[in-house]
């Protein structure tokens, strides 16, 4: 059979010259290996005659022509290639790496530059093909907002933005104010003190409800709350993010919307206190009035009829220490949860007048509640705090006490700047985050009097914040103050030191109502008793306040006819 094939190949070579040399080789090699020509490779000749006609690994198939089944001659004889399609049943051996064999797969492509990892693939060891790129779900497509986009150039004429209701009486409508957003409202990368699925948007007060609904719709948000702020003359919207997008991404998207004046997260702030359970002794003599020389100071003023606004967690008006002090109250939360004890203690530090003695027992208080007792309302939010500040300012408060601290909040910054322009004195707790904490707000804002706390030995409260923004110190460690249900408690914190300073400022304003915030701060700092390093320092500021000396440094105003105290109106917004 084999000889017949060799003869047939020789006969065909006469008609095909390119087969003469292979046929001659076949005739020479046949006698050397009669059983199988495919065994020549085992004898060191390196010849591989592929399947399809003959060879060691396949049998003759009559339906396949012989010249299409001959194998390739290896390079040991100086020949390579195929003979009429020989070797079609097996892959061609690799000439680069003969130690690695591949299964019946395609020849591998070279590995892409810089990518030598095959982790996560099912390819054999040594495989160098490009990995298949991962498949991601196709993002949803949202319809573009309908309507014409109008661009208003500064100083030129143009159509008012969509949704702005033109004023009655004719005339052109001014564009939305652009000065409200000097910078971005995107929170810092490491800032997490905000509600994770809400944003607060400020728009012009004359934007229609239809435009606000469209704004929420095109940004895939839900409107939760809307309120106007009289101090700024603008409207604020509290919006919920429905699809778990991060707050910074939503803020960036809203900043590109021309209807938005400002946008930011709904930041969180916390009350600054550390309460200690203890029984109120019958013969207690608190040290704070002694350190502050309140008996001497009250001979000059008691804060009579001066309105102090307290933005806190509400107040228990039934407490005997606070009878008749609170002339009006406002609840920005509106959830009906219980009053927080912190607010009752703050009001007691300012104006208690039964068993205890506050720094301004003759003052009247406006209490705006922005902090609750439940888990979801324990921290004050941007939306609730700015409503509370606006409420006390609009009702005539001369001093605003803010015994809370948190991140820098652009909306609160904006509203406090408007309050300062009205001559309102702003007092804030420095914070109880410790000496290594960065500055907390609103105490670190320019124009706000930041108050730290000391103990009965004039030592600094261990948990108090430090910094160059600290203005003054006041007693704030182990104070006995009123709490809920007509009780008393011992508590510490910069919150209560700030409350004492707010009461002291009420004494100063009674003595001279025309004092400006800058004049008040100068009087406090120039009469304070220096503590710690000489001069103003980051621990105590200018030192421990001295109400008596501060009042003596103020020129009293000319006496005026007695006037009834401000009522601040009734009801809430």
pLDDT at position 69: 44
Those residues with Cβ within 8 angstroms of residue 41's Cβ, 6 or more apart along the chain or in another chain? 47, 48, 56
**How much of the chain exceeds pLDDT 90, in percent?**
57
By the 10 Å C-beta count (0-12 exposed, 13-18 middle, 19+ buried), 167 is classed as exposed
6 falls in which pLDDT band (50, 70, 90)? low
d(CA 228, CA 387): 8
In a domain, 450, yes or no: yes
pLDDT above 60 (res 146): no
d(CA 436, CA 430): 13
Could you tell me if 313 and 228 lie in one domain? no
In a domain, 121, yes or no: no
The residue that leads in pLDDT, 282 or 306, is 306
pLDDT above 60 (res 173): no
184 falls in which pLDDT band (50, 70, 90)? confident
Query: Among 51, 77, 103, where does a domain finish?
Result: 77
The residue that leads in pLDDT, 20 or 500, is 500
Instruction: Give mean pLDDT, residues 25-47.
Output: 49
In a domain, 162, yes or no: no
pLDDT at position 403: 96
d(CA 444, CA 540): 14
pLDDT at position 206: 92
Of 47-61, 156-170, 471-485, 535-549, the one with minimum mean pLDDT is: 156-170
Could you tell me if 246 and 304 lie in one domain? no
Locate 74 and state its tokens: 């290896």
Of 58-62, 467-471, 530-534, the one with minimum mean pLDDT is: 58-62
In a domain, 565, yes or no: no
Could you tell me if 247 and 275 lie in one domain? no
The residue that leads in pLDDT, 59 or 531, is 531
395-444, pLDDT tens digit by residue?
999 999 999 999 999 999 999 999 999 999 999 999 999 999 999 999 99
Could you tell me if 316 and 455 lie in one domain? yes
The residue that leads in pLDDT, 295 or 372, is 295
Could you tell me if 351 and 252 lie in one domain? no
Could you tell me if 251 and 390 lie in one domain? no
d(CA 289, CA 295): 7
pLDDT above 70 (res 14): no
Contact between 257 and 219 (Cβ < 8 Å): yes
The residue that leads in pLDDT, 22 or 48, is 22
pLDDT at position 274: 75
Query: Among 77, 101, 126, where does a domain finish?
Result: 77
In the chain, how many domains are there?
3
In a domain, 427, yes or no: yes
pLDDT above 80 (res 59): no
Pairing of strands 307-312, 399-402: parallel
The residue that leads in pLDDT, 525 or 59, is 525
Query: Among 216, 237, 267, where does a domain finish?
Result: 267
In a domain, 42, yes or no: yes
Could you tell me if 284 and 232 lie in one domain? no
Q: What is the dihedral of CA 157, 161, 164, 169, to 10 degrees?
A: 20
Instruction: Give mean pLDDT, residues 326-352.
Output: 90
Max avg pLDDT among 55-64, 183-192, 212-221: 212-221
In a domain, 477, yes or no: yes
209-241, pLDDT tens digit by residue?
999 999 999 999 999 999 999 999 999 999 999
Could you tell me if 389 and 533 lie in one domain? yes
Locate 245 and state its tokens: 């997008």
Locate 244 and state its tokens: 């778990």
338 falls in which pLDDT band (50, 70, 90)? confident
d(CA 71, CA 82): 7
pLDDT at position 299: 95
pLDDT at position 248: 96
Instruction: Give mean pLDDT, residues 82-111.
Output: 45
Instruction: Give mean pLDDT, residues 320-324.
Output: 92
**How much of the chain exceeds pLDDT 70, in percent?**
64
Could you tell me if 204 and 67 lie in one domain? no
pLDDT at position 30: 55
Instruction: Give mean pLDDT, residues 86-104.
Output: 45
pLDDT above 70 (res 559): no
272 falls in which pLDDT band (50, 70, 90)? confident
Could you tell me if 203 and 291 lie in one domain? no
Could you tell me if 216 and 292 lie in one domain? no
Q: What is the mean pLDDT of the chain?
A: 77
In a domain, 485, yes or no: yes
pLDDT above 90 (res 562): no
pLDDT at position 334: 80
Instruction: Give mean pLDDT, residues 275-289.
Output: 75
Task: Write the CATH number for 246.
Answer: 3.30.70.1140
The residue that leads in pLDDT, 307 or 127, is 307
User: Beta strands of 361-442 (E only): which ranges?
Assistant: 364-369, 380-381, 399-402, 404-406, 425-429
pLDDT above 80 (res 77): no
153 falls in which pLDDT band (50, 70, 90)? very low
By the 10 Å C-beta count (0-12 exposed, 13-18 middle, 19+ buried), 42 is classed as exposed
pLDDT above 70 (res 500): yes
> Which structural domain, as residue segments, surrounds residue 298?
271-552
d(CA 184, CA 118): 43
pLDDT above 80 (res 89): no
pLDDT at position 337: 75
Task: Write the CATH number for 484.
Answer: 3.40.50.200
pLDDT above 50 (res 81): no
Could you tell me if 312 and 425 lie in one domain? yes
pLDDT above 90 (res 88): no
């Amino acid at each position: 059979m084999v000889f017949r094939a060799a003869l047939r190949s020789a006969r065909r070579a006469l008609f095909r010259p390119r087969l003469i040399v292979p046929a001659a080789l076949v005739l020479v090699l046949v006698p050397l290996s009669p059983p199988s020509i495919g065994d020549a490779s085992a004898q060191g000749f390196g010849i591989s005659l592929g399947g399809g006609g003959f060879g060691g690994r396949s049998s003759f198939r009559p339906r396949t022509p012989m010249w299409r089944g001959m194998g390739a001659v290896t390079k040991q004889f100086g020949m390579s290639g195929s003979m009429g399609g020989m070797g079609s049943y097996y892959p061609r051996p690799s000439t680069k790496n003969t130690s690695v064999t591949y299964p019946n797969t395609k020849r591998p492509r070279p590995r892409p530059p810089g990518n030598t990892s095959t982790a996560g693939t099912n390819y054999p060891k040594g495989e160098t093909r490009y990995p298949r790129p991962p498949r991601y779900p196709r993002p949803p497509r949202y319809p573009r907002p309908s309507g014409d986009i109008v661009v208003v150039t500064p100083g030129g004429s143009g159509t008012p933005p969509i949704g702005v209701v033109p004023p009655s009486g004719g005339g052109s409508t001014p564009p939305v104010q652009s000065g409200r957003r000097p910078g971005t409202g995107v929170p810092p990368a490491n800032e997490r003190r905000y509600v994770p699925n809400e944003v607060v948007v400020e728009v012009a007060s004359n934007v229609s409800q239809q435009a606000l609904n469209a704004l929420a719709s095109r940004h895939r948000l839900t409107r939760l709350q809307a309120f106007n702020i009289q101090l700024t003359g603008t409207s604020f919207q509290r919006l919920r993010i429905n699809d778990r997008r991060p707050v910074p991404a939503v803020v960036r998207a809203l900043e590109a919307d021309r209807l938005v004046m400002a946008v930011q997260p709904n930041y969180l702030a916390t009350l600054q206190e550390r309460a200690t359970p203890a029984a109120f002794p019958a013969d207690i003599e608190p040290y704070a009035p002694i350190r502050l020389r309140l008996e001497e100071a009250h001979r000059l003023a008691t804060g009579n009829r001066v309105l102090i606004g307290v933005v806190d967690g509400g107040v228990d008006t039934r407490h005997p220490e606070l009878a008749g002090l609170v002339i009006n109250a406002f609840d920005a939360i509106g959830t009906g949860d219980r009053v927080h004890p912190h607010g009752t203690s703050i009001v007691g530090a300012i104006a208690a007048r039964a068993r205890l003695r506050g720094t301004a027992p003759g003052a009247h208080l406006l209490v705006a509640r922005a902090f609750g007792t439940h888990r979801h309302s324990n921290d004050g939010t941007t939306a609730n705090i700015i409503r509370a500040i606006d409420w006390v300012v609009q009702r005539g408060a001369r001093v605003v006490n803010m015994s809370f601290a948190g991140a820098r909040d652009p909306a609160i910054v904006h509203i406090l700047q408007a309050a300062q322009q009205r001559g309102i004195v702003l007092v804030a707790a420095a914070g109880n985050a410790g000496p290594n904490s960065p500055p907390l707000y609103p105490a670190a804002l320019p124009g706000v009097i930041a108050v730290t706390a000391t103990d009965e030995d004039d030592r600094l409260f261990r948990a108090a914040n430090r910094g160059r923004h600290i203005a003054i110190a006041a007693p704030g460690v182990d104070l006995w103050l009123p709490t809920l249900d007509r009780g008393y408690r011992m508590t510490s914190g910069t919150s209560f030191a700030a409350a004492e300073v707010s009461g002291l400022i009420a004494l100063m304003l009674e003595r001279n109502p025309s004092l400006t915030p800058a004049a008040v701060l100068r009087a406090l700092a120039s009469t304070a008793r220096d503590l710690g390093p000489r001069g103003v320092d980051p621990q105590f500021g200018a030192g421990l306040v001295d109400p008596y000396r501060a009042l003596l440094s103020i020129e009293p105003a000319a006496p005026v006819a007695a006037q009834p105290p401000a009522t601040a109106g009734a009801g809430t917004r």
